[in-house]
Amino acid sequence: MKSLSSLERTVLECLGKQSLIYTDIQEQSGLHENVCFNIIQALIIRGIIHTDGVRYKIKENLSPLMLEEINGAEAKEAESLELMEAVVGQKAERVFKIRKVAMDQRDEKIFLAMLSNLESFLQDAHKKAQSSTPLKERKVVFWGMGEVQSLMSQIVSGR
């Protein structure tokens, strides 16, 4: 597999630029002990993180190929799909709505402005609570819009 899975990315996001001990990574990611341990091992094998035996850190000089695997468009698309699929499939406390909405041009502009407001709100909220909220307690939020015709033709053509 080329790109990282969202599980692996979770561990990397916990580490960020810091060096953490195993229990901190596990605590912040909320991953089960075994899962967390296996992911860390796999990331070490892939040469993305290193350890002095106690603390773990993301390697500083990752190759461009490796960076592409982590942050490339394909990797991000795959991660988005994985997370969206998980949200759609969530059983408890599910918050998900999708609609085919008839909108005139004026309403579409209003809607886009509202999305822009939403984005600013989320950025502010994130800044405010970033330092006090561990990764496991953060919320996955997504939005998007597309025209039915172009989406359908995309589905049919397989692009």
To other proteins, the closest distance from the beta carbon of 38 in angstroms equals 5
* 13 belongs to the binding site for other proteins (CB under 8 A): no
* 14 belongs to the binding site for other proteins (CB under 8 A): no
From 42-50, 64-72, 87-95, 144-152, span contacting other proteins (CB under 8 A): 42-50
What residues contact 143, with CB distance under 8 A and at least 6 apart?
Answer: 115, 118
Find the binder of other proteins among 1, 73, 92, 95 (CB under 8 A): 1
Helices (H), 72-136: 73-88, 105-129
Site track for other proteins across 131-150, x = CB under 8 A:
--------------------
* 40 belongs to the binding site for other proteins (CB under 8 A): yes
SS3 (DSSP) at 104: coil
SS3 (DSSP) at 74: helix
Widest distance between CA atoms in the chain: 60
Cβ burial 103-124 (10 Å sphere, 16+ → b, else e) = eeeeeeeeeeeeeeeeeeeeee
Q: Which two tokens stand for residue 146?
A: 């597309």
SS3 (DSSP) at 43: helix
Site track for other proteins across 82-121, x = CB under 8 A:
x---------------------------------------
To other proteins, the closest distance from the beta carbon of 36 in angstroms equals 9
To other proteins, the closest distance from the beta carbon of 45 in angstroms equals 5
Residue matched to tokens 């001990």? 21
Name the amino acid, one letter, at 9: R
Which residues of this protein are in contact with other proteins, per CB under 8 A?
A: 1-3, 5, 7, 32, 34-35, 37-42, 44-45, 51, 53, 78, 81-82, 158-159
